């Protein structure tokens, strides 16, 4: 029996006891004791008072509020047991809510700031870490995006950001030992580079981790945040593993036993109904107990049923405060924040310890500073889809974050495309009819928001279809650049560092 709480309404059960030798009056047809349920708003509803009233009707608003139901003694005891369990559950929920409020309280100060005032450079608390070669900016792993060709393009724009592979399933490596170059191959200038592994079997993942270490990667990451149906539901790994922290701990333990390079875990703030802050804390404590000291936290929960991967990147609200609270609760651990970051200015603001007022970046909104942020600042900020859609958002990574000059190839879009064209010429053997799309896919969004963007994409697609069998990919790119110069002269030569000049060009186009 379900008892629904009603506002200002008390439900009182009264067992009728007539003078039949102390036994309850029985219904002659169903042979059940009668139970009277009286509903009232005010007055004394104690058992003694109800006994005094007997079968007197209780009134409210001029209408009788008496209803009579028939239950057995067994059902009454079952109901009382369920009611106690319900009260215990509600008590635990209230305790969890209070813990959430206590741990998040006083996290931020009251003074408000504008984005342009807090994103001019990384604060001094990172000065020591700069010399330790710690990657503050990371390019998120994306399936069918962050392959070696995309990473080669990113390296023409920034030489310091940490690059990640797309997720590689452990069995993919174990079943293709004779063709590991296809899955683990990378260019020498990609360091620092991280290989992300996916899977649920500790032994298989440990064996795959050995292959990754032998390939020369700087770090191994375990995917515990992917909400894809194939991964989380059918494959039983990715975000599904967040429900099994003990199993994740055993996986990390087995991997760390086999390799010497660092091992990190990429997670969400929660999954399905397991989204409370105490659950997130218990997960962190469980996995870190075997030596995992770095967690990349996508600041959204994941819904494994009802939302597809694209919706899981936008529908669940951002929870930046949880990540910053973790930093203060566990100063011996490192945390990287992922989710919702679209520009380098927003990334710098987060690195400096500033939060958007509503966990959503907006140029018109104000930002508040996290108190005691210097105790354990973020280890890094990760950008994902923004880089895929337009890689030029990384053009200010080196000067803003690392206080270094960007590569000379990152001066303009033309220099970036020329550098990538040289890369295609060096890897001309990879260019065939089946791989031409893969080789040229990374540059499709380089003109996003600028005149000539649509022409560039359309011409690339047309030339790939018509000339891929006779013309190298570098030649296809050259023809597309000529088309852009004809439609938007000078657009490719605009300095990437001069945002105002680009805006003026768009207005005058």
Cα 244 to its chain centre, rounded Å, is: 18
CA distances from 68 to 12, 81, 176, 254, 506 (A): 11, 21, 72, 63, 76
| CB-facing half-sphere around the CA of 72: CA atoms within 13 A | 5
Cα 58 to its chain centre, rounded Å, is: 55
Does 274 qualify as catalytic in the annotation?
A: no
Task: Give DSSP secondary structure letters for 89-132.
Answer: HHHHHHHHHHHHHHHHTT-EEEEEE-HHHH-SS--GGGHHHHTT
Phi, psi of 24 (to 5 degrees): -65, 145
Cα 431 to its chain centre, rounded Å, is: 35
Instruction: Output the CA angle 213-218-222, nearest 5 degrees.
Output: 75
Catalytically annotated residue among 226, 387, 431, 491: 226
d(CA 344, CA 137): 9
Smallest Cα–Cα separation from 197: which of 177, 226, 154, 175?
226
Cα 72 to its chain centre, rounded Å, is: 51
Residues that are catalytic: 226
């Amino acid at each position: 029996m379900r008892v629904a709480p009603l506002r200002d309404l008390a439900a009182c059960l009264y067992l009728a006891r007539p003078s039949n030798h102390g036994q309850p009056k029985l219904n002659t047809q169903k042979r059940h004791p009668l139970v009277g349920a009286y509903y009232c708003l005010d007055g004394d509803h104690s058992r003694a008072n109800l006994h005094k009233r007997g079968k007197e009707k209780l009134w409210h608003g001029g209408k009788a509020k008496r209803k009579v139901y028939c239950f057995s003694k067994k059902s009454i005891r079952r109901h009382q047991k369920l009611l106690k369990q319900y009260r215990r559950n509600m008590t635990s929920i209230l305790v969890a809510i209070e813990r959430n409020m206590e741990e998040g309280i006083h996290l931020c100060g009251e003074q408000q700031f504008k984005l342009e005032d807090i994103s001019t450079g990384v604060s001094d608390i990172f000065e020591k870490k700069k010399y330790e070669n710690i990657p503050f900016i990371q390019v998120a792993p994306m399936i069918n995006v962050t392959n070696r060709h995309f990473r080669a393009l990113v390296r023409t724009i920034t030489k310091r950001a940490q690059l990640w592979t797309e997720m590689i399933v452990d069995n993919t490596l174990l079943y293709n030992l004779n063709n590991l170059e296809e899955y683990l191959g990378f260019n020498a200038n990609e360091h620092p580079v991280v290989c992300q592994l996916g899977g649920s079997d500790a032994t298989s993942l440990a064996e795959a981790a050995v292959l990754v270490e032998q390939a020369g990667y700087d770090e191994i990451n375990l995917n515990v945040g992917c909400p894809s149906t194939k991964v989380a539901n059918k494959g039983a790994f990715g975000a599904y593993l967040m429900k099994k922290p003990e199993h994740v701990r055993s996986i990390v333990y087995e991997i760390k036993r086999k390799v010497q390079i660092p091992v990190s875990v990429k997670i969400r703030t929660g999954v399905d109904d397991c989204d409370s802050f105490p659950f997130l804390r218990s997960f962190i404590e469980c996995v870190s107990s075997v030596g995992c000291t770095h967690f990349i936290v996508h600041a959204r929960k994941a819904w494994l049923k009802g939302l597809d991967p694209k919706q899981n990147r936008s529908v669940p609200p951002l929870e930046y405060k949880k990540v910053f609270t973790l930093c203060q609760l566990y100063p011996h651990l490192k945390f990287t924040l992922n989710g919702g970051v679209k520009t380098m200015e927003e990334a710098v603001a987060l690195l400096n310890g500033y939060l958007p007022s509503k966990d959503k970046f907006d140029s018109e909104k104000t930002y508040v500073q996290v108190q005691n942020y210097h105790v354990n600042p973020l280890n890094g900020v990760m950008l994902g889809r923004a880089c895929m859609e337009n890689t030029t958002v990384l053009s200010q990574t080196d000067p803003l974050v690392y206080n270094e000059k960007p590569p000379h190839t990152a001066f303009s879009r033309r220099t970036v495309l020329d550098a990538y064209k040289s890369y295609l010429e060096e890897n001309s053997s990879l260019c065939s009819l089946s791989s031409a799309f893969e080789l040229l896919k990374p540059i499709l969004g380089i003109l996003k928001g600028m005149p000539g963007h649509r022409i560039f994409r359309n011409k690339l697609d047309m030339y790939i279809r018509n000339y891929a069998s006779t013309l190298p990919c570098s030649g296809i790119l050259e023809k597309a650049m000529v088309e852009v110069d004809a439609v938007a002269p000078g657009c490719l030569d605009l300095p990437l560092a001069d945002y105002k000049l680009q805006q003026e060009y768009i207005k005058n186009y």
